Structure 1
Amino acid sequence: MPGNRRSPSPDLSTWWPAGQKVQQWLSDSEAPDCPILRTTLTLEHLLEELWEIGIIDAKRDPFHSWYPPIQVQLGTPQISWTAIHANVRTDIAGINFFAEYQLQSMITLGTIVIQVMYRKPNIVQRLESRNLRTPHIGEIIKATYGSVFPINSVRHVFVEQIQNRATMRCLWHIWGPLAQTEEWSPLSKTLTYGSYEFLAVLGSQVGKVVASFVLTAYGRGVKEVGEIFMFCFDEEYWSLRFDIRDI
């Protein structure tokens, strides 16, 4: 059972059992039934198939040169970022897939900041009906980061201003009760490894994407999520930081 001695909140029971299974896949190289394998997908493979990739050096583009929220979290205000945009090509079979399956991120050495990740529920079936490969977002994160920096250098994965409704419900069930305790900060909370809150976030849609990145990049039993940090800069959306560590 999770390392937290408290019983899980009934409100978290939707997510933490899935998170427990995901954690087993990450930490145990022999854990059964893991559907996510280490991938050899690269940026070149994406470009050869159906993806458009845009890479912008933030030092040369003023639009991407100021990024205070995450820089504050990292404590390094002078970071140089690279912006990466990946989306399905708009000319596939004459259908506009733009904004139906996309990833927008900012990366620097050791850190990935996911700004937008979106996939319509039926997009996989539509692409597969045209015999087009459909890598999941975790694979795309691995391929895009690995095109600029060594994949073993990742230490933090941020997901900024989460709008996935299921994940937002999970975070609210954590945020609400803790906000009434004395130790709670209105701006941030660390979820310790193995706690029910930690496992609930890991079992949410966003947590599964980050876990799929770790599994596709390193395989099972090599690296895991060691800590999850919740924070917000406004009253509407939360952001998450997943700390990646060796096992």
Structure 2
Amino acid sequence: MASKYPHFQPYGQKLIRWMENVNEPGCPVQISELNTETLPRPTDWRVNHSRGWLSSEQIASIVGLGLPIGDLIPNDLYPTESPCLQHSIIKTIGGTAALIGTIAPGVLFIYSIKRRPLPSNDPYMSQLAKMAYETHFPLDSLKYVIVNEIQEHATETFVMERIYPSREGLSYPSAEPQTWDYPLPEFTAIMGTPIGKVVGSFILGAFGQGVKRIAQIVTFQDGLELHKLHVGFHIEDVQI
């Protein structure tokens, strides 16, 4: 059967099969062992993290997800007691590679990712994401990855021009969050976009095949005239 979205859907289908089936052949992603000591040329990198509360927008985006919201609401009287951390991994010498995000128990917010075009010996963004989260919390505790303020052109354009118009009466941008469940072709196609590939590769590099999968994707907008696109990925165990 022909794909509804031939540019992105076929690779999205591959990612889904690799995540769901330990025996699915052809997966190019290996378990990542990257940490601050094993970064290539560690002195070329700057890794920083500090405690800080989530923003009101971040809090709003995770309401209803089953996370400990009460523990994450900012408390100005006790700023150093936040369980959340701002974490950055930036290559400062020899090229551009960076991941900047905020980490809370059960959720990883990513709002800046950069990597030199291939060929590049720099770590993949999925490897840096795993390295960042497991610095602070057990990997198995992660339930959501939210990529904030999508600036990757192919992903943003595809969501705007193809994904939203696929839903009758829906225009882009929308003030209402949109949920895309597996096995909708829109879900599969988003998984095949550059941003979806990063998150899918993160799951495979963190857990291997047949352990965790993306079960649901949520797209939503905020900011002035709803100009900021965010994409959230819900992680769950693969049911055997």
How would you bin the TM-score normalised by the shorter chain?
Answer: 0.7 to 0.9
Determine if the alignment matches structure 1 residue 136 to structure 2 residue 124.
Answer: yes
State the Cα distance separating 1:177 from its structure 2 match.
Answer: 3.7
Do the aligned residues in 1 keep the contact of 2:147 with 2:231 (CA within 8 Å)? yes
**Residue 40 of structure 1 corresponds to which residue in structure 2?**
33
Runs of 4+ in 1 over 4 A off after TM superposition: none
Residue 113 in structure 1 maps to residue 102 in structure 2 = no
Kindly report which structure 2 residues correspond to 1:97-246, keeping only aligned pairs within 5 A, or say none: 97=95, 100-122=96-118, 124=120, 128=121, 134-172=122-160, 173-178=162-167, 180=169, 186-234=175-223, 235-246=226-237
Aligned to 1:190, the other structure's residue is in SS state strand
Q: Name the aligned partner's letter for residue 208 of structure 2.
A: G
Q: CA deviation at 1:185?
A: 6.1
Distance 2:31 2:118 in 1: 25
1:13 aligns to what? 6
* Residues 246 and 68 of structure 1, relative CA distance in 2, 3 Å threshold: same
Aligned to 2:73: 78
Distance 1:216-1:187 versus aligned 2 partners, 3 A rule: same
In the alignment, the residues of structure 2 paired with residue 226 and residue 115 of structure 1 have an alpha-carbon distance, to the nearest angstrom, of 22
Q: Deviations over 1:190-223 (max 9, x none)?
A: 0011110000110000000001111111000000
Tell me the SS of whatever aligns to 1:135.
coil
Using the size of structure 1 for normalisation, the TM-score is 0.81
Q: Are 2:95 and 1:88 aligned? A: no
Instruction: Provide closer, same or farther for how the CA distance between residues 188 and 52 of structure 1 changes in structure 2, counting only shifts above 3 A.
Output: same
- Match for 1:28: what amino acid? N
**Following TM superposition, by how much is the alpha carbon of 1:87 offset from its aligned partner in structure 2, in angstroms?**
1.0
- Listed as ranges, the gaps of 5+ residues in structure 1 are 2-6, 59-64, 129-133
Residues 96-121 of structure 1 deviation map (CA, whole Å, 9 limit, x = unaligned): x3xx2110010011100001001231
Q: Quote the Cα distance in structure 2 between the aligned partners of 1:174 and 1:224.
A: 21
Q: Does the aligned pair in 2 maintain the 1:84–1:106 contact within 8 Å?
A: yes
Letter in 2 for 1:78: I
Rounded Cα–Cα distance in structure 1 between residues aligned with 2:176 and 2:186: 17
Aligned residues: 218
- Residues 13-48 of structure 1 deviation map (CA, whole Å, 9 limit, x = unaligned): 211111001101111111111100112222332386
Structure 2 CA distance for partners of 1:101 and 1:185, relative to 1, 3 Å:
closer
1:53 match: 47
Paired residues of 2:174 and 2:220 also in contact (CA < 8 A): no
SS in 2 for 1:227: strand
CA distance in 2, matches of 1:185, 1:165: 19
The offset of 1:179, in angstroms, is 6.0
The CA distance in 1 between the partners of 2:175 and 2:10, in whole Å, is 27
Unaligned runs of 5+ in 2: 64-68, 75-81
| Residues in 1 aligned to 2:119 and 2:100: alpha-carbon distance in whole angstroms | 18
How big is each residue's C-alpha offset from its partner over 1:125-184, in whole Å with a ceiling of 9 and x where there is no partner? Answer: xxx4xxxxx2211111111111111111100000001010110122111113426259x9
Q: Secondary structure at the match of 1:112?
A: strand
